[in-house]
Chains A and B, each alone.
Chain A
Amino acid sequence: MLLSMTGIEKNFGGVPALSNTTLELRSGEVHALIGQNGAGKSTLIKVLTGIYDRDAGEVVFGNTACNFSSPGDAQVGGIATIYQELNLVPLRSVTENVMMGYEPKRLGYFIDWKEAHKRTRSILSRFNIDIDVTEQLGKFSTAIQQLVAIARAVSLEAKLVIMDEPTSSLDASEIETLFGVVRDLKSSGVSVLYVSHFLDELYEICDRVTVMRDGQTVAVHKVHDKSKLDLIGDMLGRDVGEIEKEGMTQLGHGFADTGELLLEANNVSTGPRLKRFNLSLHRGEIVGLGGLLGAGRTEAARAMFGVDPLVSGKLQISGQDWTPLSPTEAIEKGLAFLTEDRKVEGIIPAMSVRENLTLALLPSLSRGGQIDRAREKQIVQQYIDDLGIKTTGMEQPIRELSGGNQQKVLLARWLITDPDILILDEPTRGVDVGAKREIQIIIRNFVEKGVGVILISSEFEEIVEGANRIIVLHEGESVAELSNPGITEAALVNALAHGRVEAA
């Protein structure tokens, strides 16, 4: 046994975040830690790495009882952690980032750059990364940066590597590289604690899984003994049969006849990342955009919403030509765009739930520049109730809400504008299983009311079950279209991989 945490208790201001939590890892094991947002996964990791002091319980790491007082302390002790948010310095070179704090020295004070670059190259080569290590880190893609962060952690000779959602910004081939490294670590006797919302990944690399719910450890399984549904059932505390009957997602409920044509895109281009995009969208319809990372899905959404100006091609709304020049104009035309990156492009952290929720509605909520505050409060309260947003009140700062509830507020921000066309970019990413279902139900309800939805999702289940049609994008071009009923995950994967629909 490499790590054993037992009877861990942690309270925040009297509210228990962890109660009698247990986590055990064997040497050379890849162990998954799963649970809904707020189940206590991050708190448990922070207790382990010394960011939080525990109120009670015992931590034994490598046969000695230990009590790390800071992440640095934990690192020296042999635990390396890679957080979701990158802790790197984008303006400094790759070498400096990888070697920071462990630079090879000459004469005791001067950094031996030649040796530093050499070591960095050899560390990165394990990840099949061949880049100029003297370049600024920030010049590389997020995925490369993520891999560099992982490489750094691994190079510190840790006995345990903790990875918190490491694949959320990686594409398929980079994920494969990462998995290769995880298997490598395992075979050299290093343990990995793997936190992820993507359950499919668990079956690829993990040996055992610990499931948490409401601050407690509810189950420990061998991964291959359990199905995905079993794990979801454990996370939610619900019966598996019940989930099975309702389908994996809440998006697909038969495909009713769709209505009039809302939006049409003809050979739209905004530059090298979106070269030729075609789409048509009707009332009461979900059209999915399929594609790998960088295929141009987000760029297509930005083009339709007036963020990136059109270089060529034509957009029509309700049969009339339209050139979107700004999001403001797009909103006036009845479009709404739920962006992918909640933190960077979605929430305004210091503002309240109320102010975040009505941001896009302000023009029609005001007269002569003055906000109708009574009406504002009434609308906000209604949406908090309707969407089941968990908050202490509409004046609570949005940054204090959980990811799922923040996402509901952002969804509400667009739904209150009463849009005809709703563009959703990864609407359930980084959201726990419970909130995911609720968000899917909300989307489905609005589709049934006649809204047309353009859905971008990396979760194949969502677009396979939910979309009437899927437009497949490949290197900035629309290359294929699949129609439901009849779409399978296999067909979609095939289309993504080959950039066309295989003849049956």
Chain B
Amino acid sequence: MEYGITSLRRLGKHGGLIALAILLLFNILITPNFLQLQTLSVNISQVATIAIVAMGMTLVIATGGIDLSVGAVMALSGALAPLIFGSQFGTDYPTLGLMAALCVPMIIAMLCGWFNGAIVAYIGVQPIIATLILFISGRGIAQVLTNGNLQTFQNPAFSYLGTGKVLGLPFQGWLALVIAIILSLVISRTTFGRYLLAVGGNERAASLSGGPVHKVKIGAYIVCSALAGLAGLVVVAINSASDAARNGELMELDAIAAAVVGGALLQGGRAPIFGAILGAVIIQLVKYTLLANGIEDEYALIAKAFIILAAVYLQMGRRVKHA
């Protein structure tokens, strides 16, 4: 019995890495042309957006919250960018237009985050309900802005976000890596990071110790939305088209799944940033494995459900230790 729990615990700690190893091995043996640079590139370019959003989600989950609005925020920021660089101003001043097309959507995304955080922190609405507001209305606003049309465009400078390469690998992969490094430094070395984990670990204790609980919560939601906004831009850049109805669809679930698979606890108090990336990679690899072997997308959804189930089960094993 003792041994069973110990080994389960050990598995829980490294479960993600083990799952990754199994997936890689499986693909190397079965999937044709898996060990190609091309395959790596495709996977990185697709996993980057999930990873970027999942890292923001990890911060929010660390405060004991959840953000359902990330997909809608992606659609909103993705819809705004082409409108800006495609406008009269954008075509007259291409450089300024590009800057604005990057900055304005991000600022709008951060305002969305502030809105979410303020409702949660000051009004005390449960996060799942608070973020439902933008989950529903955000995509609606995006579709109104674009009249519900697919907007295609030609803008190589903007498209670099989604199609550019650095050292032969997709730009957005490097972007996700840089964000991960910055966020993990923020969590381990700054007062914001320390308070973030304290608020999630025991909000009353954090508040009575002088922790700025409201500010920290709002900060987490702002960062989460900003990263969702960035991911929305990346998706639009990859496709050279903005589709407000599809951009970021179901992303909230992928991001939550990646964060949980990566070791985030839904009750808060932990922020495993690189775990979120690992979770995103696992989810992406499962999708890819099934796709590359000719299995339909519907089955990928079922497989994803099993991964989440397994991750949650392993987390329970981890908590046995604490009891």
A binds B: yes
Number of A-B contacts (CB under 8 A): 78
Q: Which residue of A lies closest to B212 (CB)?
A: A328
Among residues of A, the one whose C-beta sits closest to the C-beta of B202 is: A348
Chain B residues in 8 Å Cβ range of A373:
189
Q: How far is the CB of B201 from chain A (nearest CB, A)?
A: 4
Q: Flag B250-288 by CB within 8 Å of A: 1 or 0 each.
A: 000000000000000000011000000000000000000
Q: Are A350 and B270 neighbours in the complex by a CB distance under 8 Å?
A: yes
Bound: A411/B290 CA distance, A: 56
Minimal Cβ-Cβ distance residue in B for A335? B210
Name A337's closest neighbour in chain B (CB-CB): B208
Question: Is B154 among interface residues, defined by CB-CB distance under 8 A?
Answer: no
In chain A, positions 349-376 with a C-beta closer than 8 Å to chain B are 349-351, 355, 359-360, 362-363, 366, 369-371, 373
A306 → B minimal CB distance (Å): 10
Q: Cβ of A331 and Cβ of B210 under 8 Å apart?
A: yes
A346 interface residue, CB < 8 Å from B? yes
Interface status of A399 (Cβ within 8 A of chain B): yes
Is B192 located at the chain interface by the 8 A CB criterion?
yes
- Asked if B195 contacts A348 (CB within 8 A), the reply is no
Are A369 and B190 interface neighbours, CB within 8 A? yes
Whole-angstrom CA separation of A369 from B197 in the bound complex: 15
Decide if A249 is an interface residue (CB 8 Å cutoff): no
In the complex, which residues of chain B have a beta carbon less than 8 angstroms from the beta carbon of A348?
Answer: 197-198, 201-202, 205-206, 269
Bound CA span A366–B192, Å: 11
Q: How far is the CA of A75 from the CA of B150 in the complex (A)?
A: 67
| Cβ contact within 8 Å between B269 and A350 | yes
Chain A contacts of B212 at CB under 8 A?
Answer: 328
CA distance A446 to B190 in the complex (A): 30
Residue B162 lies at the interface, judged by CB distance under 8 Å to chain A:
no
Q: What are 26 A-B interface contacts by the 8 Å CB criterion? A: A307-B208, A326-B210, A331-B210, A339-B208, A344-B204, A347-B202, A348-B201, A348-B202, A348-B205, A348-B206, A348-B269, A349-B202, A351-B197, A351-B269, A359-B205, A359-B211, A362-B195, A362-B211, A363-B191, A363-B210, A366-B191, A369-B190, A370-B190, A371-B191, A399-B322, A413-B209
Are the C-beta atoms of B208 and A345 separated by less than 8 Å?
Answer: yes
Q: Give every chain B residue within 8 A of A345 (Cβ-Cβ).
A: 202, 204-205, 208
**Minimum CB distance partner of A366 in chain B:** B191
Chain B minimum-CB-distance residue to A360: B209
- Nearest to B322 among chain A residues (CB) is A399
Do A359 and B206 have beta carbons less than 8 Å apart? yes
Not counting A327-B207, A345-B205, a sample of 5 additional A-B residue pairs whose C-beta atoms are within 8 angstroms of each other reads A344-B202, A348-B201, A362-B195, A370-B189, A371-B194
A362 in contact with B191 (CB, 8 Å): yes
Contact B201 A350 (CB under 8 A): yes
Complex CA gap A173/B74 in Å reads 61
Known interface pairs A348-B198, A369-B191. Does A327 touch B270 (Cβ–Cβ under 8 Å)? no
Return the 7 tightest CB-CB contacts between A and B, nearest first. A348-B201, A328-B210, A331-B210, A360-B209, A359-B209, A348-B202, A350-B269
8 A Cβ contacts from A292-344 to B: 305, 307, 326-328, 330-331, 337, 339, 344
| Whole-angstrom CA separation of A373 from B191 in the bound complex | 11
Q: Name B198's contact: one of A339, A344, A351, A369 (CB within 8 Å).
A: A351
Q: In chain A, what residue has the closest Cβ to B2?
A: A13
CB-CB < 8 A to B207: which residues of A?
327
Alpha-carbon distance A328/B191, docked complex (angstroms):
14
Bound Cα distance from A113 to B146, whole angstroms: 60
Q: Which residue of A lies closest to B197 (CB)?
A: A351
Distance of A370 Cα from B204 Cα, bound (Å): 23
A344 to B203, CA, bound (A): 9
Query: Does B189 lie within 8 Å of A371, measured CB to CB?
Result: yes
- Measured between beta carbons, the chain B residues less than 8 angstroms from A344 are 202, 204-205
Which residue in chain B gives the minimum CB-CB distance to A53?
B1
Which of B202, B208, B270 has the most chain A CB atoms closer than 10 A to its own CB?
A: B208
- Name the B residues within 8 Å of A347 (CB-CB): 202, 205
Contact of B201 among A326, A330, A351 (CB under 8 A): A351
Residue of chain B at shortest CB distance from A305: B208
Give Cα distance in the complex from A347 to B192, angstroms.
19
Among B197, B198, B269, B270, find the residue whose CB has the most chain A CB atoms closer than 10 A. Answer: B198
B201 touches A327 (CB 8 A): no
Which A residues are in CB contact (< 8 Å) with B195? 362
Q: Which B residues lie within 8 Å of A399 (CB)? A: 322
Cβ–Cβ < 8 Å partners of A370 in chain B: 189-191
